[in-house]
């Protein structure tokens, strides 16, 4: 039996945060969803710095990353995450409203695992998140050693 895993949501739009949390709650796919509002907070969370220093050892099962963020944009966060030997195996899904080809090319060039354009309606948004959550948090098998089941 699979254990439910943590998801990191990096999103500055409160409306999109609420929609995402509602959709994930409806699907019961994650024990916890940690939310950060900008690119700097995302890196602090992932690298356990500042207010996230005491965060547990387990990495999230997936990072849902917005492209257009304050402080550091999603592509900058992605580059730093995928450039780190310990963090590079964490799946990252770019969840954004941008359909711009340069964003798409750059995201895949930096190692994003999936690039999903946010649907406009709640029903379509919920359906997309249900499929994303099911795949990344339940079905996908992470590389050995990337998700620690024990906590200190």
What CA–CA distances, in Å, run from 60 to 2, 18, 93, 120, 121? 15, 19, 12, 26, 27
Cα 94 from Cα 111, distance rounded (Å): 11
Q: What is the CATH number of domain 7-139?
A: 3.40.50.2300
**Domain locations in the chain?**
7-139
Q: What is the pTM of this model?
A: 0.82
Count CA atoms within 13 Å of residue 138 on its CB side: 14
Query: In this structure, what token pair is assigned to residue 2?
Result: 């699979």
Cα 49 from Cα 42, distance rounded (Å): 10
Cα 74 from Cα 83, distance rounded (Å): 14
Return the H-helix or E-strand segment holding 138. none
Count CA atoms within 13 Å of residue 24 on its CB side: 27
Return the H-helix or E-strand segment holding 8. strand 7-10
Angle ∠(55,59,64) on CA atoms, nearest 5: 105
* Sequential pLDDT tens for the chain (152 residues): 345 578 899 999 998 898 888 877 777 665 688 999 999 999 999 999 999 999 988 899 889 999 999 999 999 999 999 999 999 999 999 988 888 899 999 999 999 988 888 766 777 777 777 676 666 655 556 555 554 443 33
Note whether 70 and 38 are within 8 A (CB).
yes
């Amino acid at each position: 039996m699979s254990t439910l895993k943590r998801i990191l949501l990096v999103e500055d739009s409160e409306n999109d945060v609420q929609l995402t949390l509602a959709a994930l709650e409806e699907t019961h796919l994650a024990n916890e969803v940690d939310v950060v509002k900008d690119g700097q907070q995302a890196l602090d969370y992932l690298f356990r710095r500042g207010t996230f220093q005491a965060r547990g050892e387990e990495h999230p099962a997936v990072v849902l990353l917005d492209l257009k963020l304050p402080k550091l944009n999603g592509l900058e966060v992605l580059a730093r995450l995928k450039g780190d030997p310990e963090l590079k195996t964490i799946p990252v899904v770019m969840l954004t409203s941008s359909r711009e080809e340069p964003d798409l090319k750059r995201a895949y060039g930096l190692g994003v695992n999936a690039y999903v354009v946010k649907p406009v309606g709640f029903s379509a948004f919920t359906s997309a998140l249900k499929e994303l959550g099911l795949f990344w948090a339940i079905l996908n098998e992470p590389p050995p050693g990337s998700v620690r089941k024990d906590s200190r």
